[in-house]
Structure 1
Amino acid sequence: MPSTMKYLSLFAILSSFLFSCAEKKEKIYPEKLPMTESVYASATVQPDSMYQVYSVAMGILDKIWVEEGDKVSKGDRILQIINTSPELNKENARLALQLAQENYSGTPGVLSSIADEIQAAELQQKNDSINYFRQQKLWDQNIGSKLEYDNKKLAYELSQNRLGLLKKKYGQTKNELETHLRQAKNNYKTSLTTSNDFTITSKIDGKVYALYKNPGEIVNTLEPVAAVGRSDKFVVELLVDEVDIVKLNIGQKVFITLDSYGSKVFEGTLDKIYPRKDEHSQTFKVKALFNEPPKTLYPGLSGEGNIIIAEKKETLTIPKTYLVDESTVITDKGETKVSIGLQNMVLVEILDGINENTAIYKPEP
């Protein structure tokens, strides 16, 4: 075969191969479909108003009044802690209060003793006053000695000063005793409160979901001893990535799936956005409420949530995998710029650049 014919045959085979590859390239057309954009979040079910129970005092766990799963009313006893110190402190505070009351108002009290001294000083001052003024009249008449006159005057002045000092002492002592009495009353009230704190009670109507201590173990103020929450209402705690948190608003629709219920989808409503970011996970916590909760729920059930931030009944869409660099698609004319709108895990909304009759091709990996 001539060499020219060989080259022509080879060119024809190569052209045919390239044409068949081009024909096999995936091609689709944009479609008008309903479109929703959502924010993904991991979900955990928790009882509403659930809180960790702490003791405000140290001691030894003596008795557990409930079991895990028991329902409790507000004020019901949960745990009993024993410690001899509070009872001793209460008795000491009572004795100190009793002593303070006696010192302030009792018959043998400090004030009554000073009052007796004042009464005696007043009598002495009155007597010294009579003697002094009598001696002064005599001295004015040149009767008596100067020494006798000076002695009577000095005695009078000393008795006056002593009476003044005793009255001042009475006032100061009264103020001090009043202060001590008030302090003793406060200390006694505190001792009563501390004694009551050794019986831990429920703060809400609900259920005991966990007990972390056994009888005989030491209880401190840093570790929780139980977990209590409502039994009739559950919430969904969602962890949202920090890049998505600004898209959320209270009242947005939430679709929830739980691992325990397979593919079944539950609808809820976004109820609360917590403002503090978890620095470890770089997420924000938000809370959603079930519109119609499942019949059976337990604390800690996990799943996923999708918070709807926008939706349209019909709009031009293409699969996300057909986008190049998030703003370009491949058409018969080559790379074409497009404007995008809503997007989810699968689809993206096309606002401008192509239409329903524009063929687009999937980018090569």
Structure 2
Amino acid sequence: MLWLFSCGEKIEKIYPKKMAMTESVYASVTVQPDSLYQAYASVSGILHRNLVEEGDLVPKGFPLVQIVNTAPELNAENARLNFQLAEENYQGSSGVLKALEDEIKSAKLSLENDSVNYFRQKRLWEQQIGSKAQYENRKLAYELSQNNFRLTINRYQRTKNELTTQWQQARNNYITAQSNTQDFTIESNINGKVYALFKEPGEIVNTMEPIATVGSSDTFIIEMLVDEVDIVKLSRGQKVLVILDSYKNEVFEANVYKIYPKKDQRSQTFKVEASFIDPPAVLYPGLAGEGNIIIAQKNEVLTIPKSYLNKGNQVQTEDGPVTLKIGLQSLELIEILEGIDENTAILKPIE
């Protein structure tokens, strides 16, 4: 550093320096287990008991909690009885269709008998044998038998369709009721660890509140919140330098692997996820820290401190203000592309 004296005041000046420079995007960091999810009950009831404890490792399909509720069991029994009745009406020997089949047989026999009598009487009448009244009575009886036979068949088809629908509906209701009785035991969806249990035995369980939190036991992800101004600079595969509050003296490397496209309107940030290259030995959900996502790196670039840059990308030199063309920016430094060189003295702005 060199010092100049002007009107009795010290004016600080520096010369630009060449050095390696990194431009990065800052992000707040939270560590979470991979595949973390909250388990919900699909039925309401009373928590009978927790089948696991917080911190337990569980395989996929392992029961977590057991719920008590007699209503679904009663519903399942009622559904079974309705299904049994519908099946008996549809397929049973004493069912409704069996009675209609007997009616069809009777109507068919009547039609055949009235048909024989009508055509016999018709031939006699054509030979001028018998009376016209006898002929018309036989004809009317035959037509009524035809109509009755047709109506009986239609009624059979309509009833069969209704019974088929009722049987299918009762069967579906019975299957649904059976599945509801199986929902009393909530199982894990993944191979992982139980991180939280939210209910104690005897408490009411509903479908709106979570019962447990389960996630990966050995794979953790880094959740980062990035300002909307910086999100366009990010892409998958970029390196991230992470400092956790629990490991203040260590820097961990990670890689960006997912960028969520939807902005959080409350915080005006985007969510970005990264994975550790070499994670710490011990991690817990919710560990916080800071991250710097590296978007560019250069060696031997001309730099000056940000504090020496004025508005309009100008710096104050001994010969007056100069407008610069700048490149990379870090928290403290700015890359100079055009305007000055290593031999140009830069004066620090007077506050």
TM over 0.5: yes
Give me the TM-score of the superposition, normalised by structure 1. Answer: 0.93
SS in 1 for 2:210: coil
- Whole-Å Cα distance in 1 between the matches of residues 274 and 21 of structure 2? 22
Q: Deviations over 1:93-146 (max 9, x none)?
A: 111111111111101111110000111111111111121122222222222222
How many angstroms apart in 2 are the aligned matches of 1:110 and 1:314? Answer: 94
> How far apart, in 2, do the equivalents of 1:263 and 1:325 lie?
36
The CA deviation at 1:54 is: 1.2
Q: Structure 1: how far apart are the matches of 2:313 and 2:249? A: 33
Q: Distance in 1 between matches of 2:190 and 2:106?
A: 65
1:141 and 1:109 mapped to 2: Cα distance? 49
Q: Deviations over 1:144-191 (max 9, x none)?
A: 222121111111110111011111111111111111111122111111
Q: Of the two, which has the highest radius of gyration?
A: 1
Contact 2:312 2:323 in 1 (8 A): no
Q: Which structure is higher in helix share? A: 1
Mapped pair 1:178 → 2:169: no
CA distance in 2, matches of 1:268, 1:151: 100
Q: 1:207 matched to which residue of 2?
A: 193
Corresponding residue of 1:79: 65
1:231 aligns with 2:217: yes
C-alpha displacement of 1:326? 5.2
Moved more, 300-309 or 141-150: 141-150
Matches within 5 A, 1:265-344: 265-325=251-311, 327-344=313-330
Gap runs ≥5 in structure 1: 1-16
In structure 2, how many angstroms separate the alpha carbons of the residues matched to 1:361 and 1:195? Answer: 79
CA distance in 2 between partners of 1:263 and 1:20 (Å): 44
Give the letter aligned to residue 261 of structure 2.
P
Taking the aligned partners of 2:106 and 2:98, their CA distance within structure 1 comes to: 12
| Greater CA drift, 174-183 or 67-76 | 174-183
**In structure 1, how many angstroms separate the alpha carbons of the residues matched to 2:312 and 2:215?**
46
Partner of 1:359 in structure 2? Answer: 345
Of 190, 198, 207, the match for 2:176: 190
Q: What is the rounded CA distance, in whole Å, between the counterparts of 1:153 and 1:241 in structure 2?
A: 93
Unaligned runs of 5+ in 2: none
1:89 aligns with 2:68: no
Aligned residue runs from structure 1 range 72-151, under 5 A = 72-151=58-137
- TM (normalized to structure 2)? 0.97
The answer to whether the 8 Å contact 2:240/2:294 transfers is yes
Which residue matches 1:4?
Answer: none
Letter in 2 for 1:36: T
Cα RMSD between the aligned structures? Answer: 1.3
The residue number in structure 2 matching 1:42 is: 28
Instruction: Name the residue aligned to 1:63.
Output: 49
Percentage of identical aligned residues? 61
- The one-letter code sitting in structure 1 at the alignment partner of 2:227 is D
Q: Which amino acid aligns with 2:181?
A: S
